[in-house]
Amino acid sequence: MMPSLKVAVMGAGAVGCYYGGMLARAGHPVVLIGRSQHVDAIRHAGLHMETNTFDGHIRLQASTEAAAAQGAGLVLFCVKSTDTESAGAQLRAHLSPGALVLCLQNGVDNADRLRTVLPPRQVAAAVVYVASEMAGPGYVRHHGRGELVIEPSSASTAVAQALVGAGVPTEISDNVRGALWLKLIINCAYNALSAITQRPYGEVVAGEGVKDVMRGVVDECLAVAKAEGVVVAGDAHAAVRKIVESMPTQYSSTAQDLARGKRTEIDYLNGLVVRRGEALGIATPANRVLWSLVKLLESRVP
């Protein structure tokens, strides 16, 4: 039997609650650090976790304070990209010297940004492939997948073993940068379109002319990645086509944010491709249109 690993989830939304819940179900002590509405519900009744094979409440700790991460050997860092540096600064005083901070965020530069406020050797990037949502306070619903690809580090092997033992397929890869770019490209193809239309992936892809728009988005992303010297992991066009097969009913995180009146991460998705493209002299018109439309919708958020 594997030794237990104390886990803190910084930014316990849909992604953090899913992985934290899986680790807690496997017997690891977990504390979820998040918004008060979720924390209050979890303290009262436990985390309500719904998957294809499990639907029940899991008893674990919850807090609104970064200090709750004290003593954790693993911190799952799941805050929005806009909050990376500020949340990292909050965590810094409470991070144990041997802890690994696993960055489970969207975008390609969050781990590097986090290393500016935390000890660089304690931060590892990860690529997340999971469809989940917060269906209510303290209630995470899993729609599909759940695998992780993580960077090598002194603690990565032990962490990967704990995750695999908890039912989370986990791979350690030397090309996490390329895998992060592949995930970014998938997000650029789907997130804004799902957000603008407020439709799930299956309905989005079925729309007239949409596949051509998505193909243009992917081609622009690949051109920017190539200019940056990134070796994108796998066939990006094939990966984009595959997503709708495995997650037809999923709404993008960007769509969920807009529906809840929250600001999105679009500046770190299509917006990042636009900025990098400008710097490299590469035109990104499809990404620019999607970014600008989401920003327009986002402007209604207080």
Query: Residue 51 pLDDT > 80, yes or no?
Result: yes
- Segment 194-215 mean pLDDT: 98
Tell me the CA distances in angstroms from 88 to 29, 94, 131, one per residue in order.
22, 10, 25
Strands 170-172 and 139-150: parallel
Set out the domains of the chain in order of their start, with CATH numbers. 7-173 (3.40.50.720), 177-298 (1.10.1040.10)
Read off the pTM. Answer: 0.91
What are the structure tokens assigned to 85, written together? 């540096």
- Segment 36-46 mean pLDDT: 97
What pLDDT band is residue 246 in, cutting at 50, 70 and 90? confident
What pLDDT band is residue 2 in, cutting at 50, 70 and 90? low
pLDDT digits (tens, 9 = 90+) for 104-157: 999 999 999 999 999 999 999 999 999 899 999 999 999 888 999 999 999 999
Average pLDDT, the chain: 96
Share of the chain above pLDDT 90, in %: 92
Query: In sequence order, what DSSP letters do the residues of 78-136 get, joined into one string?
Result: ---GGGHHHHHHHHHTT--TT-EEEE--SSSSHHHHHTTTS-GGGEEEEEEEEEEEEEE
Query: Residue 3 pLDDT > 80, yes or no?
Result: no
